[in-house]
Chains A and B, each alone.
Chain A
Amino acid sequence: MTAQQTHASELKLFPDWKWKSWWTVLTGIMLLMMVGVIAFIVFQPIQVLPRIRLAPGFALIDQNGQRLTNEDLRGRYVLYNFTYTDCRAPECPQLDLLMREVQQRLDEAQTDGTPVALVTIAFDAEEATPEKLRAYAQTLGADTSNWHFISGNPERMKDIVGGGFEVYYEKLDNGEYKFTPTMILVDGWGIVRAVYNARAYEPDADRIIRHLGILAKELRESKGVARLGYEAAHLFLCYAS
């Protein structure tokens, strides 16, 4: 046995590992990462509600004649719906009744103490006086401690409801309105997070209660490294059903 051979056998810790093997390992790691990303997209371990757009700014008058602005609602989850004060069946009781159901079941929503407000905007701004709004709320049996009925400002109503919330409405010749019954969930920052109507999420109290919990969970958990996961969920459109 020559000296050189001894030397080689002593150092033969990884006898068959060559450059090629390292490339295999690197490729393996890359593949694992890709599988991880695909698994994230397919299994969606984190589900979020999209950050759709900013909710519009407004200053309107409520059923007590008090001003209510979007800034007054900052820091709360706000569920909006839209109507006109003379609205009758079949369109109107539907979503108003759903609003009432959500209000009655709010204690089921796990919002970690973030208050929830309900806001009904009457877009018939010229007719919807505080008295008419109050009557509308009473007919529904709404608890007005956290449910506001607001209107006023005819010049700006189309910008707020049509332009800002993107809810279509149109006054007809007979004084009635044609509109798309819609509910909109806005987070504490004033961002639209969910739209419930015929074209988006189907309006449903269970879903809305669950969505409130999802918003609160993201607020609670999306910190530090977990934030990466949440941002990935937004990026890969892992939206809650």
Chain B
Amino acid sequence: MKTSAKLILIIALFMVFFGAILVAGCARPYEFHGMVLQPSDPIDFTLTAHTGERVSLSDFRGKYVVLFFGYTFCPDVCPLTLAELSRAMQILGDKAEGVQVIMVTVDPERDTAERLANYVPSFHPDFIGLTGSADEIAKAATPLGIFYAKNEVEGASGYLMDHTASVTLLDKEGRVRLVWPFGTAPEDIASDLEYMLKGD
């Protein structure tokens, strides 16, 4: 009896071994939908939140921070992106607690804290809008590869802003980890976030 038990064990081990090879061969590594960056130095800046408080990125250490640069007069790109980020948070459900979505305005001239308060939380009550002086905004946006420039157009709204519409993900230590191009599906953003959250 003892030897036959050993034989079964040997066969079982072989099956596990070949099973592992099969799984390894078929399994694909997780592919992020955003562009992956090597974790670099943490970034930080301090701006004024839509509540009127001064807020630093470092206040959110311990959470994943999803950063989007837009403005409230934005006709298309910004409301669409914020709505999709809101949808991504819905998909995440309870796990969304580990994520903070922030919109930084690229139009500080018109986007006061009050204006942001009427705009940003309408997409999701937990979203935060940030504004500041022209110089503060530039210092926050430039190192993240975000460009913006006034585009004077004929019309009632005065001018539009041309700006980078990608969304940046910072990890719990405030390091840039992913950049999602404009138009990334909310399901894909949620899936990347879920994978990141699972890794902790």
Residues of A participating in the B interface, judged by any CB pair closer than 8 Å: 8, 11-14, 17, 22, 50-59, 67, 69-71, 155-156, 159-160, 163-164, 189-191, 224-225, 227-228, 231, 234
Contacts and interface: CB of A to CB of B under 8 A. Distances in A.
Contact of A160 (B36, B142, B149): B142
Given A164-B142, A228-B29, A191 B147 contact: no
Given A14-B10, A225-B28, A227-B29, A163 B142 contact: yes
Given A59-B147, A59-B162, A163-B142, 9 more contacts: A11-B3, A14-B6, A53-B143, A57-B141, A57-B145, A69-B147, A159-B143, A191-B35, A227-B29
A53 B39 CA distance: 9
Nearest to A227: B29
A46 to B, nearest CB: 14
Would you call the interface of chain B mostly helix, strand, loop, or mixed? Answer: mixed
A69 B37 contact: no
Contacts of A12: 3
Q: Which 4 A-B pairs have the closest CB atoms?
A: A57-B147, A59-B149, A54-B145, A57-B146
A67 B144 CA distance: 20
Nearest to A234: B38
B25 to A, nearest CB: 8
Nearest to B28: A224
B143 A70 contact: no
* Chain B interface residue number, banded: 20 to 34
A181 to B, nearest CB: 22
A110 B36 CA distance: 23
B138 interface: yes
B179 interface: yes
B162 A69 contact: yes
B176 interface: yes
B140 to A, nearest CB: 10
A175 B143 CA distance: 28
Contacts of B179: 54, 189-190
Contacts of A71: 147, 164
Contacts of B143: 53-54, 56, 159, 163-164
A227 B143 CA distance: 28
Nearest to B139: A159
B4 interface: yes
Contacts of A52: 38, 40
B46 to A, nearest CB: 16
A53 B138 contact: no
Nearest to A69: B147
Contacts of A70: 145, 147, 164
A11 B10 CA distance: 13
A150 B25 CA distance: 49
B37 A58 contact: no
Interface string B1-37: 0011011001001000000000001001101000111
A189 B34 CA distance: 10
B148 interface: yes
Contacts of B162: 59, 69
A144 B38 CA distance: 34
Contacts of A224: 28-29
Contacts of B141: 57
A22 B13 contact: yes
Contacts of B36: 51
